[in-house]
Amino acid sequence: MSRATDITVPDQSGRRAVVTGGSDGIGLGIATRLAAAGAEVVLPVRNPRKGEAALAAIRTSAPGADVSLCALDLSSLDSVAALGRTLLDEDRPVHVLVGNAGVMTPPDRRTTADGFELQLGTNHLGHAALVLHLLPLLRAGRARVVSQISIAAARGTVHWDDLSWERSYDGMAAYRSSKIAYGLFGLELARRSEAAGWGITSVLSHPGVAPTSLLAARPEVGRADDTREVRLIRRLSAWGITGTPTSAGLPALHAATSPDVEGGRLYGPGGLGHLAGAPAEQRLYRSLRSTDEARRVWAETERLVGVRAA
């Protein structure tokens, strides 16, 4: 099923797109399709070697693609601020921002450069800070902002009692909390944009389930070997039950480009269990439905990252 799934990406000529996590997997697929459709694609990357390999892959797949690299470590608010300054100094509107990068379930609690639990800091705070820094450019571009959450966010809550998991650590619960917070922030962005006339269309997407690097061996997060989960997902993907890295990127790509997309909505695979299949709008998870919770996330996020909406 997932192998035959595809979408048509509208012409993106004249549009500037920023895609985090674009150096491999789902993000690389999203960046490649945007570039092939004519967008100028900016890839903020932590690893320059992987970034250069991604550039080469995109240019091979889409000859003549307008794509460039810049430095970004989402686990460092200083790095996020530096990228914000770079793009603001260029003073060019951003028309598409896809927040796709992330980390998942380090076996032991790890922290960012700023002392936050790694998943909270990378999956949510780093992306949210980038949005806040780039708001002038996003408003100028009447941008489509896509927050890539996870099917795991269908359960759980924001871990308000111990946001950074200092008293105890549960990797999956921390992952869910980070993705729910990120989703609530994206929904609050949609509401604020509508109320203030910013012209930003903020939407959520999730990739379903696919064999990406999230659960594979990642020494940088303390995981020396592939998890049992990713080995199972690879088998299920080969049987067509779950998606592929290519098909899993389609909901975010649809959310970023389709003229039918509306702000404040969630898009994911439309197949059985939303594991794979063509992109489709889905009902917001219960964890994402409280406007009070979204406002709380926004306010606390501004406080933690030290940036307020301009």
What is the C-alpha separation between 32 and 45, in angstroms, rounded? 15
> Is 175 known to be catalytic?
yes
Catalytic residue among 169, 175, 267, 285: 175
What is the C-alpha separation between 74 and 103, in angstroms, rounded? 10
Q: Which residues are catalytic?
A: 175
